[in-house]
Structure 1
Amino acid sequence: MPEQRVSGKAWAMVALLFGFMMINFADKVIVGLAGVPIMTDLQLSPRQFGLVGSSFFFLFSISAVVTGFIVDRIRSKWALVGMGLIWALVQFPMLGTISVEALIACRIILGAGEGPAYPVALHATYKWFPDSRRALPGAIISQGASIGVIIVVPILTWIITKYSWHYAFGALGVVGLLWVLAFAVLGQEGKGDAGAASVVSDTERRLPYRSLLLNPTNLASWFSYFGAYFGLALVLSWFTPWLVKALGFSQATAGQLTALPFLVGFVVVICGGWASERMIRRGFTSRVARGVLAGMALIVGGLALLAAPYVPNVATKICLVLLGVALPSIVYPLSPAILAEITPPTQRGAMLGINSAVGTSAGIIAPYLMGSVIEGAASAVEGYSLGFSICGVVTLAGGIIAVLFLRPESQRAHLDALRPVVAEAR
């Protein structure tokens, strides 16, 4: 497929995987959305609820790494179908009376199923698009998450307030099963790296994982992804409770406002992905169009989070938190695009999985840390303020590292120079 043309089948796959990520993030946000009713029904302290939020990520990263290696050897389609089936089935135990231990167990299983979702979806998509055309489809797929939340939050809020949080989980299970059926029938496998100039044997294309993992660009990608995901993990578990407990909103109003970080994130990522792709076509280096762009978004987001506790106006405080967690989301399509740029296609699934695993490990720390800070603070307001300030420091650090060390062109040249040496050694 010529680089300037992309088939309709490629965009059909993007649409299906967009739906995949819609369900993925609806599954994630449900615990935060129903946080206050869950804490009330199960009589949980902030620290215990933080543990529920963090438990989702206990196997998330491990599963992403393992599945990343697997999808380098099997068809992506069936890996995606298997993950979707796990997501759907694990929601149904929540329909009945459930203990906190069972809730945590279900969230751990769900996290294991969802950990590989984004990197595998990108790996499947990259088989349809050349390098210069990957930013926009990657941005669209990543923002299936935002659109999913925007669409389902009003519906789930209505179910939670009208009926019960139990039924909200069940509704997600039904939707998950419908997607699995649709993708099993309609999903297709790409032909490989679209627009590749030549066909090279797997042996010649592969590099030692030590060289791939320990290079500065890859390490900087980990730090930037971690910095962005720290804020996202807080939003998933604590944004709705923050609105209710610290800012005084009702459950219904807070539920509607929960869509805001994802709505802003959608605009940021789609526009950022389009701008990055356009910059590359106009001759900007990938370092600038991907690395610096992502790093500056993290830096501005970190500064906004640090400023949020010090503004008295509630609306301004919410806006700063929204900017702080939404601007860094541009990292989600740009970081994998950088890694795909420097990684041999035969090792791309594993590297994307590892990148996602390290970045999303922030989800293990952030929700529980926030719960612990709230429980130890003199008031809920002080606890949330300190929690968001910590998030701001982490996000700012990730942005500085990204600006300094995301250098895909020089790193690709270095790794390309290693290939003759590796092939000769073999």
Structure 2
Amino acid sequence: MAPHPSAPSTGLGDDLTAAPSHGRRRAWLITAMIVTFMVVNYADKSVLGLAAVPVMDELHLSNSTYGLISSSFFFLFSLSGLVGGFLSTRLSSRTLLFGMTVLWAVAQLPVLAVASVPTLMGGRILLGAAEGPAASISMHALYKWFPPERRALPSALQIGGAALGTLIAAPLVTWLISGFGWRSAYAALAAVSAVWALLWWRVGHDGPYDGARAGTPGSGRLRLPYRRMLLTGTVLGSISSAFGAAWALSLSQAWLPAYLRTQLGMSAQSAATTISVVSGFGLVLLLAVSPFVDALKSRGVSSRWSTGATQGIAVCVAGCAMAAFPFAGASGPRLVLIALAFGGTSIAIPLHYMTTAEVVPTGQRGAVFGIVAAAGTLPGLVAPFLTGHLIDAASGPAAGYTRAFLAAAAVMLIAGVLALAAIRPEHDARRLGLDPAVADAAR
């Protein structure tokens, strides 16, 4: 696709700040659209968890059955993320994101006709397949509008849309569920997805930093064997940090609302407020990432420590909080630990994309992002169902939840330590033959 007329005709290494003002405005318009895309994305993901109690009551679901329905979202999620990554090397981001959001709208409709386990599961499977490539392809689309040295803030804002989506969705979706029934939330999200798709088709053109089209040295023409890139410590460590973060995220979406209501005795609105606070905490951390990383790099700190160690430590700290909060006696410390356990991993998501991008040529970035996202989000296939099984198999729900949270903590701690040890972008870039000048162009 030819660049949009408003896109500045600059080389890959040019700074966006040197572009015409209309080019800068377009870049931030695209950023705003992608942030909104992520808001809708996470609102769609969260709706079943927020409706868990009334859905389970109405359909007489066991914890295991509900957990299976929650996990069904991820049956095709990782596979579609992988396929979407490779499609992004052939199709424009405009086309891919439009197609995905149309499917999001369609996926919400079956349960409006017939509320049953098969329609719930079918809708979640279709939604998961359509959302699998969402984070990686939208990040890839965003990177087309910013040069490598100016991606920290847009990346944080993109992932911040996820936290913002839960923060906004929790009270609004809960209000819809309480006032108009849980089906109304599905209908509202179908409409919002359709509106976003129409707006994106109008404004969502690809940007000037698309290496596949740039034709500059070290950009789209530079290609490396996928096996070599994927087996670097940086990519494997980035996948590990994403894996630990995704375990906590899938638990928060599927089970945290039910836990707050059934185990801590919160009302629907109180639980929604708590989830919004957790998401708000994650959003604050995300917005703090950009200046923190920029400050470290301005002092000459390597990417291994500025972005690699930061994500590994975040997952480890969140894992410790996950292990501790079931045993906290007072409500205040327990809620602080819950916020840290479920919101503290948020900064690992943009950082794992940034570290991966440092060892991948631009022309292959979308495909590698898809592979990394597919592997990093596998916990969604396991964690919700495993949690439901542990709750049903335990002597009581409280004991089952405790076992599930301790299992999550173990996974997160192992993942965080592996990320700390393995992520070394500068070392791996040199080993792949990407010297610093080429590496900047290849990101």
TM-score range, shorter chain: over 0.9
For the residues of structure 2 that align with 1:417 and 1:305, how far apart are their CA atoms? 39
Select the residue among 241, 252, 259 that pairs with 1:235: 252
Residue 293 of structure 2 aligns with an amino acid whose one-letter code is S
- Count of residue pairs brought into register by the alignment: 417
For the residues of structure 1 that align with 2:156 and 2:221, how far apart are their CA atoms? 31
Change (3 A) 1:93 1:198: closer
For the residues of structure 1 that align with 2:219 and 2:308, how far apart are their CA atoms? 28
2:337 is aligned with 1:313? no
User: How many percent of aligned residue pairs carry the same amino acid?
Assistant: 38
2:373 is aligned with 1:356? yes
For the residues of structure 2 that align with 1:417 and 1:354, how far apart are their CA atoms? 21
Provide the alpha-carbon RMSD of the alignment: 1.8
Select the residue among 134, 141, 162 that pairs with 2:158: 141
2:216 is aligned with 1:199? yes
Residue 146 of structure 1 aligns with an amino acid whose one-letter code is A
Provide the residue aligned with 2:272 in structure 1: 255
Counterparts of residues 7-406 of structure 1 (less than 5 Å): 7-193=24-210, 199-200=216-217, 204-406=221-423
| Long gaps (5+) in structure 2 | 1-9, 436-443
TM-score (norm 2): 0.91
CA deviation profile, 1:13-63 (whole Å, cap 9, x unmatched): 110000000000000000110000110111100011001110001100000
C-alpha displacement at 1:256, in angstroms?
2.7
Provide the residue aligned with 1:3 in structure 2: 15
CA deviation profile, 1:204-234 (whole Å, cap 9, x unmatched): 5101111011111111111111001100000
For the residues of structure 2 that align with 1:342 and 1:202, how far apart are their CA atoms? 13
C-alpha displacement at 1:93, in angstroms?
2.1
Provide the residue aligned with 1:422 in structure 2: none
Residue 269 of structure 2 aligns with an amino acid whose one-letter code is A
C-alpha displacement at 1:154, in angstroms?
1.4
C-alpha displacement at 1:188, in angstroms?
1.5
Contact 2:311–2:347, Cα closer than 8 Å, also in 1:
yes
For the residues of structure 1 that align with 2:185 and 2:138, how far apart are their CA atoms? 25
Residue 33 of structure 1 aligns with an amino acid whose one-letter code is L
For the residues of structure 1 that align with 2:102 and 2:220, how far apart are their CA atoms? 34
Provide the residue aligned with 2:441 in structure 1: none
For the residues of structure 2 that align with 1:224 and 1:202, how far apart are their CA atoms? 27
| Long gaps (5+) in structure 1 | 419-426
C-alpha displacement at 1:314, in angstroms?
2.5
Contact 1:68–1:116, Cα closer than 8 Å, also in 2:
yes
Provide the residue aligned with 1:411 in structure 2: 428
Secondary structure in 2 matching 1:259 = helix
Residue 15 of structure 2 aligns with an amino acid whose one-letter code is E
For the residues of structure 2 that align with 1:128 and 1:35, how far apart are their CA atoms? 39
Residue 161 of structure 1 aligns with an amino acid whose one-letter code is S
For the residues of structure 2 that align with 1:159 and 1:413, how far apart are their CA atoms? 53
For the residues of structure 1 that align with 2:149 and 2:351, how far apart are their CA atoms? 12
Contact 1:273–1:334, Cα closer than 8 Å, also in 2:
no
For the residues of structure 1 that align with 2:60 and 2:273, how far apart are their CA atoms? 24
TM-score (norm 1): 0.94
Change (3 A) 1:29 1:83: same
C-alpha displacement at 1:417, in angstroms?
6.2
For the residues of structure 2 that align with 1:197 and 1:104, how far apart are their CA atoms? 43
C-alpha displacement at 1:371, in angstroms?
0.5
For the residues of structure 2 that align with 1:201 and 1:403, how far apart are their CA atoms? 29
For the residues of structure 1 that align with 2:276 and 2:434, how far apart are their CA atoms? 47
For the residues of structure 1 that align with 2:260 and 2:245, how far apart are their CA atoms? 21
Residue 373 of structure 1 aligns with an amino acid whose one-letter code is L
Provide the residue aligned with 2:440 in structure 1: none
Contact 2:315–2:345, Cα closer than 8 Å, also in 1:
yes
